[in-house]
Structures are given as structure tokens and as C-alpha cells.
Amino acid sequence: MRYIMGVDGGGSKTYTVITDENGNKIGEGISGCGNYQMIGLEQALAHIKSSIDLALEGTGLTYKEIEFVQYGLAGADRKKDYSILRSGLKTLPLQNWDLLGDALVGLRLGSHDNVGVVLVCGSGTNAVGKSKDGAVVQTGGFGYLYGDAAGGNYMAVETFRLAVRSWDSREIPSILTKKVPRFFGFDSMDELINHFLDRQVKNVPGELTILLHEAADEGDQLAIQLLSKVGCELGIAANSVIKRIGNFGIDTIPVVLIGSIFQRAKNSFLFEALEKTIKRKNRKIRLIIPEMEPVYGAVLLGMDRLRIKVTPDVYAKFNLYRRALVD
């Protein structure tokens, strides 16, 4: 029996899963942030190692018994990133492995032939395309200063800003002016703003996106406008990738949507704006929202690498594991 390990290192957590060649989950481990750009290489490697060790606990397996490891790490965007990360990963006690950015691992979740476009929308955002002949293009993934205008962290800041702007009449009335102060334990926007100004607060937690989705579900127009704007921005990023790739070598392009904003929040206003924006320029696309956790994309790539045939039964198991995690 061969054993495959997938490691998904993102901004909020590092998740490692071990399966056998039939797709049966043998072990799993969750640790902290695995994005070296956010916390530095040493700390990111410590979290990656911790998640691996936790996954191995109780399996009876040793490092040497893992046939192949596929790392999918946020922060692996440029050649320089790959060089830095590869040098660090070489220090871990695993022999046969490969490294890809989290977006390319996500593509495998929804595209069985690993061709198409993947949009990431979790704490950050990214758009990557891969053609049949192996050409890869990335748009975004480097933050607001470099053109990004989506992702949970961006949406949290914009949610706070819209609450302020609605409160002081620079925007239309919004229930965010009630929800946001309550989130921070205050009775009013006035109390909240003065408290933040006195303490020179410069950022807000990503969990504010939960309030944004709640407000949109309750019909708040300002929240709906923001989610629609984010959907449009994500669509623009997808169109950029499609244009820059040119020929994917397939007729209909799968656009795989991964990350918590897509896979958990599933806001209809965001999706409608996203699809409309893409189809204005590219009619032959198909949106795909995988059910399984992104880490299983890494496992699938590991299976591909070992030339293990991935059967429908394997996909069904991985989807079931995802639902068990959510429940």
C-alpha cells in the first residue's frame, strides 16, 4: 500500500492529510499559518512540520513510509518564493515531494485534467490559469497595492469603512452601522470610532466578512453593493488570466472557485456579478465550486504523480471527508 500526503498551507491554517492509494484518509493534522510571507519562513516551516507530525500521530507510519508529499502553499507566487520555500522544505524529514502555490493545487480540485482557471478567495485572493500544454499565468495575489480588490481581509476593511461612511452620511443607510459596533462590543459607531482612534487601530479582523454576508442576506443594499463589487473584481481577474493564456487547448474553460468565501459563504450576489463579468468577454466557461477541502487537491496531485488512477469512488470519499469536517 502506498501513502500520499497533501499539505495545504494558507494564511489562517496549515492542514495536512494522509491517504492511502485508494483514497482512505489515514491521518490529518491542523496547525497555524503556513504562508511564509505573513509570518516568516522559520515560523511557517514550524507550523508545516507541526501539522505533518499531527497527521502522522496514531497512523503507525514513519516519514519514510510516505510515498509522496505534495505541498500547496500560499505565498508561493514567484520564482524567488519557490527558491526560498524549497530551501526550507528540504530541511523537513520527507524525501519525495513537490511544491506548488495553493491556487494550482486548487485547480486540481475541480478540473480532472488540471487545465483551466482557478480563482482563490479566502483571506486573500489570487487567479491562475493553466493550459493543456502547461503554460501557467497568474494575475494578482500580491495585495491591494498591486491591484487586488477581493479576499476576506479586503472585504473586512471595506465592511468597516462602509459602516463608517454610512454612519456619517457619506453612503446610504445600512444596518452595518449597528452590526459592526456590536461585533466589537460597543453600543454605537461613535463609541467604536473614538475608541479606535484613541488607540490608533490600523486594521480589523477578517471575521467582519461574516457580518457583511449577514447584512446582504437581510437585504442591506450597501452590503450587496460590496459583494457585487468583489464578484466583479474576481471576474476581471479571471478574464485577465484567460486573455493572457490565449489558447487553453480545450473548448469550454472550467473556472474553479476555491477558498472560504466561495466554498463556505456562497453569496449569490457575489456569484452573479462574477459570472456576468466573465461571460461578458468569455462565453465558453463553466463555474465549478468543489465540495472537498483544498488539501485534497494536493493529495490528488500526489496520486497523479504516482500514476494512481483516481476513480469516482476516491472523489466521493474526499467530498465526504469535507462534509464531515464542516459538520
Tens digits of residue pLDDT in 219-278:
999 999 999 999 999 999 999 999 999 999 999 999 999 988 888 778 899 999 999 999
Give the residue among 60, 42, 47 at the shortest CA–CA distance from 16: 47
Q: How far, in Å, CA of 201 to CA of 151, rounded? A: 21
Residues 36-65, mean pLDDT to the nearest whole number:
95
Task: Tell me which long-range contacts 303-307 makes (C-beta under 8 A, separation of at least 24).
Answer: 303/4, 303/21, 304/108, 304/114, 305/68, 305/70, 305/98, 306/2, 306/4, 306/21, 306/67, 306/68
Q: How far, in Å, CA of 59 to CA of 61, rounded? A: 5
Q: How far, in Å, CA of 133 to CA of 114, rounded? A: 11
CATH topology of domain 116-289: Nucleotidyltransferase; domain 5 (3.30.420)
Given CATH 3.40.50.1370, say whether it is the number of domain 3-95+291-326: no
Burial class (CB in 10 A: 0-12, 13-18, 19+), 283: exposed
20 phi-psi bin (left φ>0, alpha ψ -120 to 50, beta other): beta
Collapsed DSSP state (helix, strand, coil) of residue 199: coil
| Segment 15-34, tens digit of pLDDT | 999 999 999 999 999 999 99
DSSP 141-169: -S-GGGT---SHHHHHHHHHHHHHHHHTT
DSSP 230-266: HHHHHHHHHHHHHHHH---SSSSEEEEEESHIIIII-
Cell numbers 475608541 correspond to 195
pLDDT confidence of residue 327: 35
CA distances from 222 to 174, 180, 226 (A): 6, 13, 6
Residue 18 φ then ψ, to 5°: -115, 130
Give the neighbor-by-neighbor strand order of the sheet with 14-20.
25-31, 14-20, 3-9, 68-73, 97-101
Q: What angle do CA 174, 180, 182 make, to 5 degrees?
A: 120
Cell numbers 504523480 correspond to 305
Same fold, 3-95+291-326 and 116-289: yes
For the ranges 30-34, 149-153, 169-173, 191-195, the lowest mean pLDDT is seen at 149-153
The enclosing H or E element of 27 equals strand 25-31
DSSP at 25: E
* 326 has pLDDT over 50: no
CB of 52 within 8 A of CB of 16? yes
CB of 102 within 8 A of CB of 294? yes
Confidence band, pLDDT 50/70/90 cuts, at residue 323? low
Tell me the domain boundaries of the chain. 3-95+291-326, 116-289
pTM: 0.88
Q: How far, in Å, CA of 125 to CA of 38, rounded? A: 14
| Segment 90-137, tens digit of pLDDT | 999 999 999 999 999 999 999 999 999 999 998 889 999 999 999 999
- What is the percentage of the chain residues whose pLDDT exceeds 70? 98
Q: How far, in Å, CA of 158 to CA of 8, rounded? A: 27
